[in-house]
Amino acid sequence: MPETEKPQRHIGAMLIALVVGVVLGVAYLQLLHVALDILWTDIPKAIDNVTLDRIYTLVFLVVGASLVVWLRRSSGVFGHSPLDGLAVHVDPIRSSLISLAAVVISLFSGAVLGPEAGLIAMGTALGVWMSKLAKAGETEKEKLVKVAVLGAVIGLVVNMGAGGTINIVSVPLELAWMDFVWAIPVAIVSSLIIVAIRLPAYYLRDWGDARPPHVYRGAIVGLLIAIVAIIGIALSEADPRLILGSGEGYIEQVLAITSVSTIVIIIIAKGIAYSLCLGGGLRGGPIFPAMFIGGAVGAIFIQLGAGAEVNMLAASGVLAATCTGLKLNFKAMVIVAVVFGLLLGSPLLIPSCLIGMVIGDILRHLLSKVPGVGPVADEPDTVPTAATA
């Protein structure tokens, strides 16, 4: 084939990778949504027995966490730690698919992590596969991977927008200057809570996410998460999915709770479980649980008498908590604030989102010497010489 045709072939491959990435991203999220509804809503309701329901939670988390660690240990593919935020690496197809499987198993087991890491793994596998079909060089391969991952992320945005997953606006909003005044303390508290969650996760990682990982440690982490969830559900009498799981589809539900003590219990239980998942060897994204916690902080301020719209404060808390665990430049923060303001339900939420992101970023810089604040670099993803379960 003439050299002049190669760029056109690669451009065509990138367009295909982008479109297929969007389709796969939407399909992946829809399948997760259906499966999680069955596993953590329909089956527990069908059990309709407190003791059996607790046993179900215990078994699922212990078995799921053990299986994730076993998969990572036996395959030698350690995967991307959720403490390291989100990153795109040009990994082999096998490694990406094993990482995707680890994310799916973690989410099915009830882990307090998000699906976004699975999207990146899936997009990476697609991009590498497309690069082989197009016989692309290393530079083109990297571009194809990034485009495929972008497609999968766009699928996430499409899925959230179409399904109203994180929509928190039920009535028209009216801006008031007090909304922005109260958004500041909400953002500060949300960020500090995420710092308090990430700090113990940082120290836990040396034990729970060692390389190679140990299956029995995964079982212990799963057991601890289950105990925290069971206690939190019993004390709060809340929907189990307010504590277990990523939580992005339940922000509006927590905003409707009028008991401060109930919201505090939910934040504590979910925060501890989130910390165990971040550092305990499970796999998934770090964003959505932080979003949920930030929204819950906004709900507390409203119940304590803050003179502002609950949606405005929730938006500020959501983005402050999110930004504390990520590293974004100002341009990226503006884009994320706009996108999430719209996804949360109204362009009027964009200023609150931006306030939250700026404060979260400022606190991340001020507290940068605290272990675990911001992305924490992974250890090299190497294959152990002898990986035994």
Going along the chain from its start, the domains and CATH numbers come out as: 5-161 (no CATH), 169-366 (1.10.3080.10)
pTM for the predicted model, two decimal places = 0.92
Do the Cβ atoms of 79 and 106 come closer than 8 Å?
A: no
Output the pLDDT for position 7: 58
Q: Which amino acid is at 371?
A: P
Output the pLDDT for position 379: 58
- Alpha carbon separation from 372 to 119, 170, 286 (Å, rounded): 24, 36, 12
C-alpha span between 370 and 365 (Å, rounded): 10
Joined together, the tokens standing for residue 138 give 């290393």
Output the pLDDT for position 137: 84
Count, in order, helices (H) and strands (E) of the chain. 14, 0
Mean of all residue pLDDT scores within the chain: 90
C-alpha span between 223 and 107 (Å, rounded): 15
Dihedral, 264, 302, 359, 178 alpha carbons, nearest 10: -170
Percent of the chain with pLDDT over 90: 74
Output the pLDDT for position 385: 39
Q: Which residues of the chain have pLDDT under 50?
A: 1-5, 382-389
C-alpha span between 220 and 203 (Å, rounded): 16
